[in-house]
Amino acid sequence: MRLRHITGCEEKINNSPLVVKDASFAEGNELKMEFGMGKGDFIIQNALKFPNNFFIGVEKFATVVLKALEKINGMDIPNLRFMCEDVATLEEIIKPHSVKTIYLNFSDPWPKKKHAKRRLTSESFLKIYEKLLEESGEIEFKTDNVDLFNYSLESFKDNGWQVLEFTYDLHNNAKMNEGNIMTEYERKFSQNGNKICKLIAKK
């Protein structure tokens, strides 16, 4: 998600106490993170629904983080923070084995083969997630892009992860859809008639 540049955007983000440089605010608590949160709909809803868990939404574009900040403007959500970082840098920022759940929602598909390494479910990213996740930690991945989904199923398996559950039609899978929190893209794509794929994986 790319938005037109907004003057003073970086400064606003750097000055916000809600945008953090590390995950220390959650220390000692269950931490759940979304990588590539976009405007933050999903992670905000999660934080409101589960006040006893701690949530951090990560997004690489400052203009997009600013939209998330504007969304919660005035709301007091003490268990939620944002990070403006590239997922590739997180292993230097987050303490190893401190994350309970990683959510990847509608990650950029990078359909060309020569760009496969940029997919957030490619080998180098899975190595990062392995370092960040607690021993019992899990990844929950949703997309409407069947090619990316099939690639990801293989990538998890090839890299020694267990795929615990998966579906090519989340909204018609009563078990996996229970308690599902829709993301902004999920709402948009399913309104267009696209089916939503989901998998849950564990190392």
Exposed (0-12), middle (13-18) or buried (19+): which is 45, by Cβ within 10 Å?
Answer: middle
* DSSP code for 200: E
* DSSP code for 91: G
60 near ligand SAH, judged by CB under 6 A: yes
Sign (positive/negative) of CA torsion 19, 198, 180, 67?
positive
Rounded to whole angstroms, the Cα distance separating 71 from 17 reads 15
Residue type, 198: K
Rounded to whole angstroms, the Cα distance separating 191 from 60 reads 27
Which residue among 36, 98, 152, 153 contacts ligand SAH (CB under 6 A)?
36
Q: Do residues 153 and 166 make contact, with C-beta atoms less than 8 angstroms apart?
A: yes
Rounded to whole angstroms, the Cα distance separating 138 from 33 reads 11
Q: Do residues 98 and 131 make contact, with C-beta atoms less than 8 angstroms apart?
A: no
Quote the least distance from Cβ 189 to ligand SAH, whole Å: 9
Q: Which residues pair with 166 in a beta bridge?
A: 199
Which residues in 135-164 contact ligand SAH (CB under 6 A)? none
Nearest CB to ligand SAH, comparing residues 37 and 153: 37
Quote the least distance from Cβ 61 to ligand SAH, whole Å: 5
58 near ligand SAH, judged by CB under 6 A: yes
Quote the least distance from Cβ 46 to ligand SAH, whole Å: 12
1 near ligand SAH, judged by CB under 6 A: yes
Which residue among 26, 38, 126, 145 contacts ligand SAH (CB under 6 A)?
38
Active-site amino acid positions: 108
Nearest CB to ligand SAH, comparing residues 46 and 98: 46
Nearest CB to ligand SAH, comparing residues 107 and 159: 107
86 near ligand SAH, judged by CB under 6 A: yes
Which residue among 31, 87, 126, 153 contacts ligand SAH (CB under 6 A)?
87
Nearest CB to ligand SAH, comparing residues 28 and 179: 179
Quote the least distance from Cβ 28 to ligand SAH, whole Å: 26
Q: Euclidean distance between the first and final Cα of the chain, in Å?
A: 29
Residues that bind ligand SAH (CB under 6 A): 1, 36-38, 42, 58-61, 64, 86-88, 105-108, 183-186
